[in-house]
Amino acid sequence: MQMQTRTTDVPVLSLSDWRPGSPATRDRLVATLRHALHEVGFYMLVDHGIDWDLVEEVFEAARRFHALPLETKLSLKANRHNVGYMPVRGSVTRATPVGEEAALPNVVEAFFLKRDLPPDHPDVLADRPFRCANQWPDPELLPGFRETTMRYAAEIERLCLDLLPLYALALDLPEDFFREAFADPQFSLRLSHYPPVPGYAEREYGLAPHSDSSFLTMLPQSGAEGLSIRLPDGRWIDIPVIERTIVVNSGDLLKRWSNDRVLSTPHRAVNRGEGDRYAVPFFFDCSGGYGMACLPSCTDADNPPRYPPVTYIDYMLWFTNRNYAHVRQDPAGPFGP
């Protein structure tokens, strides 16, 4: 059955209402975000201030990387910090209950990048989880690749930081509530390639139904269809493709932090076209060692905390172990089987 999307299904937020914005327009923006977080889990961001030429450059960087010979990409194979290359069918969606709908490996390859730490950084030397140096292809093979991807990551991170006061207000918290938690934020940039598939097998996807691990995820639109989300009423809908928008969704860590007040909406991706499909999601999180205890606005005597405090590092150790073949060890863990 063909899915249909009502115009009201996925809210559209304009940051022109926030920067600078009158008090009335800011209040409406906060109300719209609150609705998106509580009722949908996704929204589309316009007037975001990101140079779209840079977005197109990072999509081209993804194309150039995935056009390299497989042997070259495998020389940068992803490590236990989840930095580097993951081949097609190198991941299986297991970390969230909706993932039980699909047991087959995902038909996607990806290259993961994090903050560009130097080899002599204390966290790199200490082998702190998810704080390693990036793996980079030979600059002679991909000139400008490192500069483009890190410039893009810096711009998207700036946008995420700018949104934090808006998120705080939508959660009935002081505007500066998240400042300490995001003093040294974690992020992961994933350059994904979905090769054309003549016909998906049963329970096979480009990326199987799942929810993200992040505080929030930013996904600039590439112009290609293929992303679908499952609304709370059970309907699967396609995300509309709107030029120069960024699709934003909340993830499992914000859901936990908010005591399930915020949705972490299941979604999936397939390549429905005859050509290649690329995506460059940016996963944004708080500082690695910050303890995310239940937000004070999300609990009271009748609604006690559902989850113990957790750090990004502890949660992501479990998440990557569950989902990625290159780090998988024990199939069980502290957050579920």
Domain CATH for 207: 2.60.120.330
Q: Digits of tens for pLDDT over the chain (337 positions)?
A: 233 344 458 999 999 888 777 888 889 999 999 999 999 999 999 999 999 999 999 999 999 999 999 999 999 999 988 899 999 988 877 655 565 555 689 999 999 999 999 999 999 999 998 889 999 999 999 999 999 999 999 999 999 999 999 999 999 999 999 999 999 999 999 999 999 988 888 888 999 999 999 999 999 998 889 999 999 999 999 999 999 999 999 999 999 999 999 999 999 999 988 899 999 999 999 999 999 999 999 999 999 999 999 999 999 887 777 655 554 544 444 444 3
- Residue 122 CB neighbours (<10 A): 9
User: Does any domain span residue 96?
Assistant: yes
Distances (CA, A) of 140 to 61, 73, 144, 231: 14, 14, 9, 45
Asked if residue 76 is part of any domain, the answer here is yes
Distance CA 133, CA 121 (A): 8
Query: Do 230 and 239 form a contact (C-beta atoms < 8 A)?
Result: no
- 114 falls within a domain: yes
Number of domains in the chain: 1
Q: Is residue 202 part of a domain?
A: yes
Asked if residue 269 belongs to a domain, the reply is: yes
Identify the domain containing residue 310 by its residue range.
55-323
Residue 30 falls within a domain, yes or no? no
In a domain, 35, yes or no: no
> What is the C-alpha to C-alpha distance for residues 279 and 112, in angstroms, rounded to an integer?
12
The pTM for the full model equals 0.91
**Does 215 fall in a domain?**
yes
For 209-228, the DSSP string reads: EE--SSSEEEEE--S---EE
Q: Is 81 helix (H, G, I), strand (E, B) or coil?
A: coil
CA atoms of 33 and 20, how far apart (whole Å):
17
Instruction: Answer for the pair 142, 63: CB distance below 8 angstroms, yes or no.
Output: no
Burial 215-252 (b: 16+ CB within 10 A, else e): bbbbbbbbebbbbbbbbeeeeebbbbeeeebbbbbbbb
3 state DSSP class of 124: helix
- CA dihedral 237→238→242→245, nearest 10 degrees, is 80
